[in-house]
Chain A
Amino acid sequence: MSATEAASQAAAPHEAGRDYFASLARWKVWEILFWATLAGCYFFPDIDRMLMSRVIIWGLFAMSLDVLLGYRGIPSLGHAVFFGVGAYVAGFLGKFGWTEPISGLFFAMFVAGALGLVMGKLVQRVTGVGLLMVTLGLNLIVFDFVLRSTELTGGDDGLQGIVIAPVLNYFRFDIWGRTAFWYAFVVAFVLFVVTRMLLKSPFGLALIGARENPRRMLTLGAPVEGDVSRAFMIAAALAGAAGALLTQTTQTAAPTYLSFQRSADVLVILIIGGAGRLYGGFIGAIVFILLQDYVSALSPVYWYFWIGLLLVIIVSFFRKGLLPSVEQLYDRLRSRKSAGPPG
């Protein structure tokens, strides 16, 4: 790196510049509050811990799509494929004797990530409606395959006989969802922290650059197409982790895990929360899953009316999703308060 050193010798240390990037990477108070509140949910009396672990899993799943869509700007209508593959891999391991959950989770992430890399290589040159179609098509193919390979996957009925050992050989998965909650929470939090670091790194900045202007990134010498497949790989591994979590906490894996419906749902969740914000997926999942739980109990048939309406309202009035809209409102209120002579 002698070139860097030579160049930077001329440049005096610049505090403002350094501070700027340092503040981007720093954990904010509200972030800590968010995770503390989520963990604190466990202690609420009467809380449905199984439901809360589902919220966390969907949040992780939506965050994985955020890496692809929010940060790299690639829409996918087939993201459930990776979720489903992670779920089935974890399920197979549990079914055929490898019942230890953490290594199973890693293995599921690895397989889903490898598939993501392949898929990314396939689609890295396709854009726009073509991209939506290819991802949708691949989703349908894999779904069809899982549904039809009855002997392998159990077809419509899903995978039977999944056994998952206690976490760390001690915490059993119980029907109250106590272990499920903490297992999902810790895994999601750790993966969140890693993803956060990745996105605050030069690589994360390059992803945003390619989202903003791929042609310019190309003329800066960036491997724009290679970044597509890397983003796919990371997003797929995270989605695979979410799928594996669902399988392990519920001991089931069903074809619906990788249906197109699920791909649409996760997209809706991310859009509701707000893409490109890292937390949008979790916020969206909280709104979506809790609302779904509530409305479906009243009238399952009409759930999709409300979710459709929500979608229409969001794209019409809150183009960027809930989180950025709230942020904007907050900024506006604050600037109004501090409005006065400039200084």
Chain B
Amino acid sequence: MSEAVLETKNMHMAFGGLVIFEAIDFSLRRGDRHAIIGPNGAGKTTFINLVTGLLKPRAGEIWFDGRNVTQDTPQQRVKAGLVRTFQINSLFKALNPLESVMLALLEREGRSKPSLRTVAQEKPLIDEAMALLDRFGLAGDAFSITDALAYGKQRLLEVVLALALKPKVLLLDEPAAGLSTQQGHEVFAKLADLPGETAILFIEHDMNLVFQYADIVSVFAAGSMVLQDTPENVRASPRVREVYLGA
């Protein structure tokens, strides 16, 4: 069993009086393909918001790559290699995909400080951006305004932006939401090609995708993690059925 790269220890969260997590202990191992499932409102997105620092937990700790990052800012966590996508597309509407990916690459390389060098001079990064877009079938749309892209392509761009940062841990909030079954499979097939050391934590409602691409599945419901096991065992578990049917 390999070491944990991302861990929460006793993490507690509530919005006002609405308790989302009583106290959650969670760990993601290096290289894992880990799925989170659970009914709507179980707190899956909130979990990602907490881990990435967009929300602060009421109590408990978050460890990433051997460091306590509970007090770190969102940027510090991104710089350390903890990167996410959004459940609802969160893109740069007036920019095109090439410019959007360039933003990520320039940020990754720390080259966005004020300077008089034009973006055009960053030739290797431009090439890298185009190659990345090409890999996800977006090269043909590289120069179209993001807002005008088909929804499926925007969804892909959401993933490409995160990948451009070369994360150690990639957190995907329902990457296939709103895509056709086939498109969903294409996205996951591309992700499966990523280098093995990148850990992927993804939230997904489509069980077929979960069982095909995850090595391990966590089930969230009603303020806690109900179960964490292999896809086969989760599929067979009566607890999971209960959770979903709300018994």
Contacts and interface: CB of A to CB of B under 8 A. Distances in A.
Do A and B bind? Answer: yes
B27 to A, nearest CB: 22
A197 B116 contact: yes
Interface string A4-24: 110110111110111011101
Interface in B102-145: 102-104, 106-109, 111-120, 122-131, 142-143
A200 B118 contact: yes
A230 B104 CA distance: 20
For this complex, into which size category does the number of interface residues on chain A fall?
35 or more
A219 B112 contact: no
Contact of B131 (A1, A10, A21, A216): A10
Given A200-B119, A203-B114, A8 B90 contact: no
Given A198-B114, A216-B91, A13 B127 contact: yes
A199 to B, nearest CB: 10
B96 to A, nearest CB: 8
B74 interface: yes
Contact of B125 (A4, A200, A221, A223): A4
Interface stretch (B10-18, B78-86, B188-196, B236-244): B78-86
A14 B120 CA distance: 12
Contacts of A22: 118, 120
Of the candidates B54, B119, B165, the one having the most CB atoms from chain A within 10 angstroms of its own CB is: B119
B120 A216 contact: no
A231 to B, nearest CB: 10
B165 to A, nearest CB: 7
A17 B116 CA distance: 20
For this complex, into which size category does the number of interface residues on chain B fall?
35 or more
B115 A220 contact: no
Contacts of A204: 119
Contacts, number: 156
Interface stretch (A50-58, A80-88, A205-213): A205-213
Contacts of A8: 124-125, 127-128
A4 B109 contact: yes
B103 A205 contact: yes
A17 B114 contact: no
A220 B93 CA distance: 16
Nearest to B131: A11
A222 B107 contact: yes
A17 B92 contact: no
B61 interface: no
Of the candidates A14, A22, A24, A222, the one having the most CB atoms from chain B within 10 angstroms of its own CB is: A14
B119 A202 contact: yes
A213 B129 CA distance: 20
A99 to B, nearest CB: 31
A319 to B, nearest CB: 14
A21 B101 CA distance: 13
Interface string A163-207: 000000000000000000000000000000010011011111110
Contact of B113 (A203, A221, A234): A203
Given A216-B90, A221-B165, A205 B127 contact: no
A25 interface: yes
B103 A217 contact: yes
Nearest to B133: A17
16 contacts: A8-B127, A11-B128, A16-B143, A17-B127, A17-B129, A18-B120, A21-B122, A197-B118, A209-B95, A216-B90, A217-B107, A218-B75, A220-B103, A220-B104, A222-B107, A234-B114
Given A202-B119, A221-B75, 19 more contacts: A4-B109, A4-B128, A7-B124, A10-B131, A11-B127, A14-B127, A16-B142, A24-B119, A198-B114, A200-B118, A200-B120, A201-B119, A202-B113, A206-B106, A215-B54, A218-B54, A220-B108, A221-B107, A222-B103
Interface of B: 52, 54, 74-75, 78-79, 83-84, 86, 90-95, 98-100, 102-104, 106-109, 111-120, 122-131, 142-143, 161, 165-166
Interface of A: 1, 3-5, 7-8, 10-14, 16-18, 20-22, 24-25, 194, 197-198, 200-206, 208-209, 212-213, 215-224, 230, 234
